[in-house]
């Protein structure tokens, strides 16, 4: 799977993919991430990528031409399954959407900035607008990094233990159960006996019960969704 990211701040995206799981995914040839500076596609002495909003108001708008040039240059080299614009007014990224996106081959990510991009870019090129939550970031780069991380780890073969994504929080509309490692007792705090029992059936049952209880208390919205899907 390949991500191309168009951004006015490519430096911000230098490190996030070069560690741990995503680094290994790239070394294994399962994932490619290419970051492209939008300013490279801007013309004129100042390589201007933003301008004042027609109609007035505070904040700059990202100009059409450099983005169009960037997208069209990339589209000449390959066709994209999705052109995603990161923006607080997009659809909320969740595990179901991450699962869907992990099945794509090529994704082009356009990072929003300032007051956003000229609407004509959204009309002409963007196939999906994604937000990572109900708060405002100063730019779409961190949102793009979140998306690449959440999607990239789901590509088959990326996780060491192929089954481990199956037990993630949200994968089943449930939060993950508590986990423990050695020592079995620390400052008088004990690991639940059942986890030391060696009985996999009991342990699975305990984990499911913990997941259900944790989800019911912390995320009643998810709990309702889970119950509806498991009648």
Which residues make up the interface to ligand 6GU (CB under 6 A)? Answer: 86-88, 112, 130-133, 135-137, 139-140, 143
CA distance linking residue 128 with residue 87, whole number of Å: 10
What string of DSSP letters covers 3-52? Answer: EEEEES-GGGGSSTTSSHHHHHHHHTTS-EEEEEEGGGG--TTTT--EEE
**Nearer to ligand 6GU (CB atom), residue 22 or residue 111:** 111
**Nearer to ligand 6GU (CB atom), residue 13 or residue 174:** 13
Closest distance of CB 12 from ligand 6GU, Å: 12
Q: Which of 36, 31, 29, 1 is nearest to 141 (CA)?
A: 36
Instruction: Say if residues 140 and 36 touch (Cβ distance below 8 Å).
Output: no
CA distance linking residue 130 with residue 147, whole number of Å: 9
**Nearer to ligand 6GU (CB atom), residue 133 or residue 178:** 133
Instruction: Say if residues 32 and 60 touch (Cβ distance below 8 Å).
Output: no
Instruction: Say if residues 158 and 30 touch (Cβ distance below 8 Å).
Output: yes
Closest distance of CB 35 from ligand 6GU, Å: 16
Closest distance of CB 145 from ligand 6GU, Å: 10
Closest distance of CB 64 from ligand 6GU, Å: 19
Closest distance of CB 194 from ligand 6GU, Å: 40
**Nearer to ligand 6GU (CB atom), residue 143 or residue 148:** 143
- The residue ranges of DSSP E strands in 154-230, in sequence order, are 185-186, 189-190
Tokens of 32: 């490619």
**Nearer to ligand 6GU (CB atom), residue 130 or residue 174:** 130
Q: Is 151 exposed, middle or buried (0-12, 13-18, 19+ CB in 10 A)?
A: buried
**Nearer to ligand 6GU (CB atom), residue 104 or residue 216:** 104
Closest distance of CB 200 from ligand 6GU, Å: 40
């Amino acid at each position: 799977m390949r991500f191309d990211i168009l951004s006015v701040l490519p430096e911000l995206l230098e490190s996030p993919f070069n560690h741990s799981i995503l680094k290994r995914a790239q070394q294994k040839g399962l994932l490619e991430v290419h970051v492209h500076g939008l300013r490279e596609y801007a013309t004129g002495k100042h390589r201007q990528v933003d301008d004042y909003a027609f109609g007035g108001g505070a904040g700059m708008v990202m100009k059409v031409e450099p983005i169009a040039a960037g997208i069209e240059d990339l589209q000449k080299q390959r066709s994209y399954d999705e052109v995603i614009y990161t923006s607080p007014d997009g659809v909320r990224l969740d595990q179901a959407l991450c699962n869907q996106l992990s099945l794509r081959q090529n994704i082009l990510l356009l990072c929003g900035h300032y007051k956003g991009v000229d609407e004509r870019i959204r009309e002409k090129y963007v196939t999906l607008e994604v937000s990572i939550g109900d708060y405002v970031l100063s730019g779409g780069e961190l949102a793009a990094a979140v998306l690449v991380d959440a999607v990239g780890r789901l590509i088959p073969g990326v996780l060491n233990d192929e089954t481990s994504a199956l037990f993630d929080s949200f994968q089943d509309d449930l939060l993950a159960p508590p986990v423990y490692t050695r020592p079995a007792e620390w400052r008088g705090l004990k690991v639940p006996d059942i986890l030391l029992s060696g009985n996999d059936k009991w342990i699975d049952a305990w984990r499911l019960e913990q997941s259900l209880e944790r989800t019911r208390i912390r995320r009643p919205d998810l709990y309702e969704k889970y119950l509806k899907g498991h009648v």
